[in-house]
Amino acid sequence: MAMPSHVVLYVDNPGASADFYSAVLEEMPVSASASFVLFEQDEGLRLGLWSRECVEPAATIAGGGAELVVVVEDEDAVDRRYEALSQRGLCIIQPPQDMEYGRSFVLLDPDGHRVRLMMPF
């Protein structure tokens, strides 16, 4: 059975995006170059940050058309992570709240990609 293994986001500045995702994921990338940064989760999912200038074929769409969802350990962690990321001055577009599917908040990465940190109910 084939399963998705990577999510690749096209970014303007892989270094700046790596700093953002290091804070959000609370981990460092497993590899990095000037044009590509890779994070790898223990569960096997990989997040790639690829310089928009180097993508082949060329990317025509910018961030904001989808969400990357990061599940945290519990509902209190949603609030703790919100406070920590707020103090870093990151762009948060929805503060923590209980939604029909769980407690979550939403922030934007440097390229406008939506990132939701949540704990499902």
Give pLDDT, residue 2: 84
What is the SS3 assignment for 91?
strand
Strands 46-51 and 6-11, sheet pairing: parallel
Domain that holds residue 112: 6-120
| Per-residue pLDDT tens listing for the chain (121 residues) | 788 899 999 999 999 999 999 999 999 999 999 999 999 998 889 999 999 999 999 988 888 889 999 999 999 999 999 999 999 999 999 999 999 999 999 999 999 999 999 999 9
Following DSSP, what letter does each residue of 3-60 receive, concatenated?
Answer: ---EEEEEES-HHHHHHHHHHHHTS--SEE-SSEEEEE-TTS-EEEEEETTT-SSPP-
* Within-domain flag for 1: no
Give pLDDT, residue 44: 86
* Within-domain flag for 25: yes
* Within-domain flag for 21: yes
* Within-domain flag for 53: yes
Q: What is the CATH number of the domain that holds 34?
A: 3.10.180.10
Domain count along the chain: 1
* Within-domain flag for 79: yes
* Within-domain flag for 54: yes
